[in-house]
Amino acid sequence: MNLNQIELLRILQETQLNLSKAAERMHIVQSAVSRQLQLFEEELGSPLFERKGKKLTALTPLGSRVMAEVAAINQAKLNIQTIASDFLDSSKGTIHIATTHTQAKYFLPEPIQRFREKYPAIRIYIVQASPEQLIDQLHAHKADIAICTEKVNDDVDLVTQQCYEWHHAAVMPKGHPLCENELTYARLTSFPILTYSFGFTGRSAIERAFQQSGTQLDVILAAADTDVIKTYVRMNMGIGIIARMAYDVHNDQDLVIRDLSHLIPKSITKIAYLKQNYLPLYCQHFIAELLLAAKQIKA
Amino acid sequence: MNLNQIELLRILQETQLNLSKAAERMHIVQSAVSRQLQLFEEELGSPLFERKGKKLTALTPLGSRVMAEVAAINQAKLNIQTIASDFLDSSKGTIHIATTHTQAKYFLPEPIQRFREKYPAIRIYIVQASPEQLIDQLHAHKADIAICTEKVNDDVDLVTQQCYEWHHAAVMPKGHPLCENELTYARLTSFPILTYSFGFTGRSAIERAFQQSGTQLDVILAAADTDVIKTYVRMNMGIGIIARMAYDVHNDQDLVIRDLSHLIPKSITKIAYLKQNYLPLYCQHFIAELLLAAKQIKA
DNA sequence: TAAGGTTACGGCGATCGTAACGATC
DNA sequence: GATCGTTACGATCGCCGTAACCTTA
């Protein structure tokens, strides 16, 4: 057993058990990986993969158990490298943030700017994805931390910490009937609604609220992206229900915003990362910066 | 980085950072391990060990963080091997049980005998040690499971499950004054006491009980081993306080046993093993056998 | 026949062993 | 001087690459 064989197994999973592609990714010829896999299976004494003819089709029961350990080894290997470069120079490095459009555009800019002043040599990559994908990104080590509102609480492999709480709000063109008088479930449901796609930015809280009230929204357009929603609101297609912090006081003056905290319960945005993953110092500081920014929102 | 270097680091810890002994354990010459260590430190970019001259004296802060990951890799590596041999043939293998004298002599014989009938090809090694050492044995992979009453609850790396509950009892030669009338804290403290050493077989429960009652035992002899205690009780040196199940109805007929459950709270014997450690199937069955035996004690 | 996998063999490099040297108690 | 670690150099064995072959969609 050696680390290259472990790495091979890891990559085989990522390439849908395609030996040729795995070989390519490892910068060696295909025959080499074929032999290494044989050697490893021989060492263990039984096959890790189901085969149809010569092609690998699936993991054997043994294979899937082994893969869990492979992941652990890979994680520890990455941690060693991260820890070491942390000691060498924790002022440079890279952060991959997996998050949704709303967070990237309306929450992250300020803490990121402050963080960059302190750590100018750290590269920051923002990976935009749906909340479900965010968690996959963490597991695939394509992201270090995820910032989002939905889903992250279920996964036992994740550490999550609360970042900030927020409410939804309705946006509409000036002069719209809903600009006046109290907003109720009944009034909202009588207009066409534009809001987030399922699984995005507190959409689940919206659903729950209206379901419990016994009413139902007429969602005629759902988008992952607040800006898309606003665009269609400006086209007079209906009422937008968006995260309150996504209303921009400068650029959205043509839209009227109305609080919905009495109708839709608060949403909580969390920071999540893999439990077993060693986060470099600068990444820990970045999280601290996020929490600081979150505090200032409350105040 | 490769698995041999990881293995080297692991063995260096076990050999008090002695390169020569590590080389011996790895069946290669000393110069080879010296170079491998250099290569690894070079790869990481900074030293893992403090050096005094040429000798390795301690881990650097980097080193100790890395060692934690090394342990994880080693664990995963062992798991892969265990899982694989489990699939090959789970009817043979080895169980290392770390436990104390009392459990080994008065609890384990029956479940072990029953287990051997089902799994005759499994070798069973009993490692006797103090409860503190038991936990070290688990961490050092010298034992698969530990069975004991004290200490194991503190360690977050351990899975523990309750095995059985029991009480202490007093043993004394026939005709001793304490054979008659009710046993009280006061009466017990007026005689010399023989019992377990600190940290053994519920000694902590004894201590707590008498401390809370405001009295103090006159322990004139403490041993790790019930048989030693009985021997001195037979020599009329005093009253023995032992685990109730350590009284043998056949061989201890010359001694009188008296229940102490009204004075000393129950002790709980637990089974413990490493959280990250994959236990072979037969080992899981062995634990099931232990729990079965524990149930029968209650009944 | 293209794509994916296996087998055979020769070459190269990583890692080991030998050996001589250096340091520390 | 005994123990422990380092350095230099030649030898070896593991692993890769080339290439020919096999199998299935």
The mean predicted confidence, pLDDT, of chain A is 93
DSSP, residue by residue, B5-69: HHHHHHHHHHTTT-HHHHHHHHTS-HHHHHHHHHHHHHHHTS-SEEEETTEEEEE-HHHHHHHHH
Alpha carbons A247 and B138: distance in angstroms, whole number: 57
Whether CB of A57 is under 7 Å from strand C: the answer is: no
Q: Domains of chain A (ranges plus CATH)?
A: 3-85 (1.10.10.10), 89-163+268-298 (3.40.190.10), 168-265 (3.40.190.10)
Residue type, A214: G
Contact state of A76 with B72 under an 8 Å Cβ cutoff: yes
Determine the 3-state secondary structure of A65 from DSSP. helix
Alpha carbons A50 and A61: distance in angstroms, whole number: 9
- pLDDT given for residue A122 in this prediction: 95
DSSP strand pairing (A55-59 vs A49-52): antiparallel
Provide the sign of the torsion angle of the four alpha carbons B261, B262, B263, B266, taken in this order. Answer: positive
- pLDDT given for residue B150 in this prediction: 79
Contact state of B70 with A87 under an 8 Å Cβ cutoff: no
pLDDT tens for B117-130 read 999 999 999 999 88
Residue whose C-alpha is closest to residue A19's, from A54, A60, A66: A54
Residue B299 confidence (pLDDT) above 70: no
Average pLDDT over residues A210-227: 93
- At residue B155 the predicted structure's pLDDT band, cuts being 50, 70 and 90, is confident
Residue A172 confidence (pLDDT) above 70: yes
Tokens 């992206």 -> residue:
A225
Residues of chain B that touch chain A, judged by Cβ-Cβ distance less than 8 Å: 1-4, 44-46, 61-62, 65-66, 69-70, 72-73, 75-77, 79-81, 83-85, 87-88, 276, 278
Q: Which residue of A44, A62, A73 to mutate against B (max B Cβ within 10 Å)?
A: A73
Residues of chain A that touch chain B, judged by Cβ-Cβ distance less than 8 Å: 1-4, 44-46, 61-62, 65-66, 69-70, 72-73, 75-77, 79-81, 83-85, 87-88, 276, 278
Strands (E), B154-298: 158-166, 168-173, 192-196, 218-223, 239-243, 255-259, 267-274
* List of B residues 38-77 with CB within 7 A of strand D: 38, 51, 54-56
Helices marked H in chain A: 3-14, 19-25, 30-44, 61-88, 101-106, 109-118, 131-139, 185-189, 203-213, 226-234, 281-298
Tokens 């692991």 -> residue:
B10
- pLDDT given for residue B165 in this prediction: 93
Alpha carbons B56 and B21: distance in angstroms, whole number: 13
Which element (helix H / strand E) includes B125?
A: strand B122-128
CB-nearest to B66 from A1, A61, A80 is A80
Alpha carbons B292 and B285: distance in angstroms, whole number: 10
- How many residues are recorded in chain A? 299
Contact state of B70 with A85 under an 8 Å Cβ cutoff: no
Residues 6+ apart with CB under 8 A from B41: B47, B48, B49
Which element (helix H / strand E) includes A268?
A: strand A267-274
Average pLDDT over residues B128-139: 90
- pLDDT given for residue B53 in this prediction: 85
Which element (helix H / strand E) includes B115?
A: helix B109-118
Whether CB of B52 is under 7 Å from strand C: the answer is: yes
Average pLDDT over residues B268-292: 95
Integer angstrom CA distances of residue A29 from A3, A12, A191: 18, 14, 61
Task: Say if residues A293 and A203 touch (Cβ distance below 8 Å).
Answer: no
Alpha carbons B98 and A163: distance in angstroms, whole number: 45
Average pLDDT over residues B258-280: 94
Whether CB of B18 is under 7 Å from strand C: the answer is: no
Cα-to-chain-centroid distance, residue B7: 25
Say how far B91 CA is from D22 C1', in Å.
39
Residue whose C-alpha is closest to residue A271's, from A258, A288, A250, A259: A288
- pLDDT given for residue A53 in this prediction: 85
Q: Which residue of A42, A87, A274 to mutate against B (max B Cβ within 10 Å)?
A: A87
Instruction: Provide the phi-psi class of A222: left if phi over 0, else alpha when psi is between -120 and 50, else beta.
Output: beta
Whether CB of A15 is under 7 Å from strand D: the answer is: no
Q: Which two tokens stand for residue B270?
A: 């637990």
- pLDDT given for residue B211 in this prediction: 93
Alpha carbons A244 and A197: distance in angstroms, whole number: 16
pLDDT tens for B34-81 read 999 999 999 999 999 999 888 899 999 999 999 999 999 999 999 999
How many helices (H) and strands (E) chain A has is answered by 11, 12
Residue A299 confidence (pLDDT) above 70: no
Q: What is the dihedral of CA B70, B74, B75, B81, to 10 degrees?
A: 160
Question: B140 φ, ψ to 5°?
Answer: -85, 5
Alpha carbons B135 and B33: distance in angstroms, whole number: 30
A120-142 in b/e form (b: 16+ CB < 10 A) is: eebeeebbbbbbebbbebbeeee
Determine the 3-state secondary structure of A257 from DSSP. strand
Residue B153 confidence (pLDDT) above 90: no
Say how far A20 CA is from C2 C1', in Å.
14
Residue B162 Cα, gap to closest chain A Cα (Å) = 24
- The nt closest to B29 (CA vs C1′) is C17
Chain A residues closer than 8 Å to B278 by CB: 65, 69
pTM: 0.89
Residue A182 DSSP symbol? -
Integer angstrom CA distances of residue B296 from B107, B142, B162, B265: 11, 30, 14, 21
Q: What count of other Cβ atoms lies within 10 Å of the Cβ of residue A180?
A: 10
Residue B3 confidence (pLDDT) above 90: yes
Whether CB of A2 is under 7 Å from strand D: the answer is: yes
* List of A residues 7-36 with CB within 7 A of strand C: 17-21, 30-31, 34-35
Question: B297 φ, ψ to 5°?
Answer: -65, -45
- At residue B274 the predicted structure's pLDDT band, cuts being 50, 70 and 90, is very high
The mean predicted confidence, pLDDT, of chain B is 93
- The nt closest to A4 (CA vs C1′) is D15
Average pLDDT over residues A249-262: 94
- At residue B132 the predicted structure's pLDDT band, cuts being 50, 70 and 90, is confident
Degrees, nearest 5: CA angle A80-A86-A92 = 130
Task: Say if residues B273 and B144 touch (Cβ distance below 8 Å).
Answer: yes
- At residue B154 the predicted structure's pLDDT band, cuts being 50, 70 and 90, is confident
Average pLDDT over residues B175-183: 92
Residue B181 confidence (pLDDT) above 70: yes
Q: Which two tokens stand for residue B110?
A: 């029956």
Residues 6+ apart with CB under 8 A from B290: B108, B111, B147, B163, B271
Residue A92 Cα, gap to closest chain B Cα (Å) = 15
Nearest CA in chain A to B86: A62
